[in-house]
Structure 1
């Protein structure tokens, strides 16, 4: 397919003659997010947009595709088309590279796109990812999770769908999203366009395959924490800190506060002053509730990963918020054949002594009551079949044409990868019983299509 670069297309579906989908079904907002960037036309979930890129060095492009583990970066120019706007990516300061860890083993790669300056003045982004979701045939797990998190007031990144062309070659359907870098953190937690005192940002990651990120306090020295700089990836040092080690001292201060307070006997007023003053505890409780309901295999509850901790200097407060939801709504186990099952009862128990925050929530009567009420409120007002299923179906309809086209054409450019998982399996529907706490059990299920739960009380 040939496209005229630089030309604005005003048809309802850009240059692509596909059926026009209806808008995605409305989801009710339960809590307003105190930290929130605007969702502009660039991140419109109602449409499939298009990135059309031109790479002059065809040899480098071929090397990037054939050797996805080599971190080859390539300059490009290009265009962004949406139903609402056209944005030229005409500066020569744009680069594309392959990103991801496990995902690099697939023939469909995911990409990182970055701008050398502070942010592109027209696109208003510095870095973002194009995720291919090679191990999720629906391409819906992460988009569903992101949209739900917005409605319960949990900060995370923005995302939308796009097709990708490079040098007129079709690369498939993607979900593009913000990266948690300094520009986005500034816009998320501070005033856009103003000079801000940015705090340190840490992401919990597995070290050598072990999910052992811990908020347990040892002492005030960073080097006393085994492999701290591999377990906690310092994304931003912060304005006030000169090194990652200095930034880590701010996280140690938070650990110290959590571990040196007896939260089992503390009353509500003391709790407000000891924790709420320094930590967004309400947001964290909602995060635990959504980890539970979404069945996040890699999140805070089960394998401590895919969450970030940000210190907000003006507020003197810590915020924990999630990233990466590809293991939500069912996770593939390679046990007696591939299945998509997540047993919540096998997750980290509430009495686990290795997690001080879980201990605080589960062992303090006030906070445990708040957690249980939060879960039930989300189920009644959002996470139920009457509201959730029409939303999922409408989101599926947005990408159906493009996803079916990708499955037919298989436009995957990496030949050295060793895994290919794009088969579509049949959806199962299963009753979900209540667990001992009176909540729907997350012993679900599923499929590459999307889990549909029948929630009922016993």
Structure 2
């Protein structure tokens, strides 16, 4: 007996081919940096300045070397771990890129002993038609010292929009906003607070990453982008940061979707409360 196929509501997102995100192998990245400079960065990751490094990417098919690449620590809460996360920025003015990516992030996954949750979640989102970062595992060495296995992901910006959403390097881009929750009372919950920008805290609606929250819109109103696609004339939702997924988080016990948002936040998250919690068609099932 064969089981009936599950109906597919959305078209799967097939990522644009890239030599960077090859799931068939685990590549190696070697970084060379002045050791004294790196030691100083490690003493105070939150205040550390970016440093210039030598970058080399190696897999079974190629060796890709770039001199004078900017490296800095990435993330917010991840800086509490000994295994730091990193961001590498290539100088596109000098025609430096990493397979058409002007910047990439190496996420340490230090809080996930499996190192698998974020990668699996990325693949699940793509399979149901949601645009998000691409990811591939790499092994990182810094000054010939092993730092471990990392998840290399896209840095969401202009390059991501062109290669993943528009699939065209000449596409006209719209506005991109990064949404986060820097503190308890400042969340990107999309509540209506007034008709002007002055009604809203600057800390929430900003392109600059401020960090501080670990989950998604449903729970903490954080970790997503809003992108206005001028080709389709629509706003598109781009989720990001999935290390606290698939069982890793702050919930002490299992709960239903009806209790998930209200018990964790004193502020309303309208897209959850209006479209899901108060939706009769969903709640009568």
Is this a same-fold pair by TM over 0.5?
Answer: yes
Please give the alpha-carbon distance, in whole angstroms, between the structure 1 residues aligned to 2:38 and 2:18. 31
Aligned equivalent of 2:143, options 167, 177, 182: 167
SS in structure 2 opposite 1:41?
A: coil
Please give the alpha-carbon distance, in whole angstroms, between the structure 2 residues aligned to 1:298 and 1:39. 29
Aligned equivalent of 1:234, options 192, 195, 207: 207
Question: Cα–Cα, structure 1 residues 205 and 360, in superposed 2: closer, same or farther, change >3 Å?
Answer: same
Say yes or no: does 1:88 pair with 2:65.
yes
Say yes or no: does 1:354 pair with 2:268.
yes
SS in structure 2 opposite 1:216?
A: coil
Corresponding residue for residue 117 of structure 1: 92
Alignment TM-score, normalising by the size of structure 1 = 0.54
Select the structure of larger CA radius of gyration: 1
Please give the alpha-carbon distance, in whole angstroms, between the structure 1 residues aligned to 2:275 and 2:249. 29
Shift of 1:29: 10
Shift of 1:303: 1.5
Corresponding residue for residue 187 of structure 2: 212
What are the Cα deviations for residues 296-354 of structure 1, in whole angstroms up to 9, with x where unaligned?
A: x8212221111211111232100112111111111344xxxxx86453353125xx993
Say yes or no: does 1:198 pair with 2:173.
yes
Question: Cα–Cα, structure 1 residues 75 and 340, in superposed 2: closer, same or farther, change >3 Å?
Answer: farther
Corresponding residue for residue 244 of structure 2: 327
Please give the alpha-carbon distance, in whole angstroms, between the structure 1 residues aligned to 2:122 and 2:150. 15
Corresponding residue for residue 48 of structure 1: 26
Corresponding residue for residue 244 of structure 1: none
Shift of 1:183: 1.8
Please give the alpha-carbon distance, in whole angstroms, between the structure 1 residues aligned to 2:179 and 2:16. 26
> Residues 393-432 of structure 1 correspond to what in structure 2 (within 5 A)?
none
Contact 1:200 1:235 in 2 (8 A): no
CA RMSD, 1 decimal: 2.9
SS in structure 1 opposite 2:46?
A: helix
Corresponding residue for residue 343 of structure 1: 255
Please give the alpha-carbon distance, in whole angstroms, between the structure 2 residues aligned to 1:50 and 1:171. 11
Corresponding residue for residue 11 of structure 2: 32
Gaps of 5+ in 1: 1-27, 237-296, 334-338, 373-435, 439-458
SS in structure 2 opposite 1:60?
A: helix
Shift of 1:130: 0.6
Which region of structure 1 is more displaced relative to structure 2, 297-306 or 163-172?
297-306
Q: How many residues align?
A: 271
Corresponding residue for residue 65 of structure 1: 42
Bigger strand share: 2
Alignment TM-score, normalising by the size of structure 2 = 0.83
Aligned equivalent of 2:221, options 280, 289, 304: 304
Aligned equivalent of 2:233, options 284, 301, 316: 316
